[in-house]
Amino acid sequence: MKLLFLSFCISVIISSALIILSTVFSKKTILDREKASPFECGFDPKNSSRIPFSIRFFLIAIIFLIFDIEISILLPLGLISNSIPPMVWIFVGSSFLFVVTLGLYYEWKESTLDWIT
């Protein structure tokens, strides 16, 4: 029991010493103005926050997210193929792909996918 208590005390002392040493040596004494300013993805935070934003880029990003989520929804269909009849999961997968394809066709006809207009 004394050995267990002694090893516990030694581990607490060592970990406390390491924490104290890391906080003492990690303090930065020289403050650089550039390092102290917030980083805003390469933009100067002192300028106007209203910059022109391309709505086409936003729509392409939304379409990408929809198709990315579609993959994560379709992947489990392979896992449940043994637990339900094949015609059911083929119907579910096909109907889901059909709805997503209809959405893609609509986006194509609305010319959302055309980058240059």
Confidence (pLDDT) at 46: 62
Residue ranges of the domains in the chain?
39-117
**CATH topology for 39-117?**
Methane Monooxygenase Hydroxylase; Chain G, domain 1 (1.20.58)
Contacts of 38 (CB under 8 A, 6+ apart): 45
- Helix and strand numbers (H, E) in the chain are 5, 0
- pLDDT recorded at residue 13: 96
Over the range 5-28, which residues count as b (16 or more CB within 10 Å of their CB) and which as e? eeeeeeeeeeeeeeeeeeeeeeee
Model confidence pLDDT, tens digit, residues 45-100: 566 656 677 777 777 788 888 888 888 888 888 787 788 888 888 888 899 889 88
Q: What predicted TM-score, i.e. pTM, was given to this entire model?
A: 0.47
Predicted confidence (pLDDT) per residue in 77-89, tens digit: 878 778 888 888 8
pLDDT given for residue 30 in this prediction: 61
Can you give the pLDDT at residue 44? Answer: 59
pLDDT tens digits along 2-43: 899 999 999 999 999 999 988 888 766 566 666 666 665 655
Average pLDDT, rounded, for the chain: 79
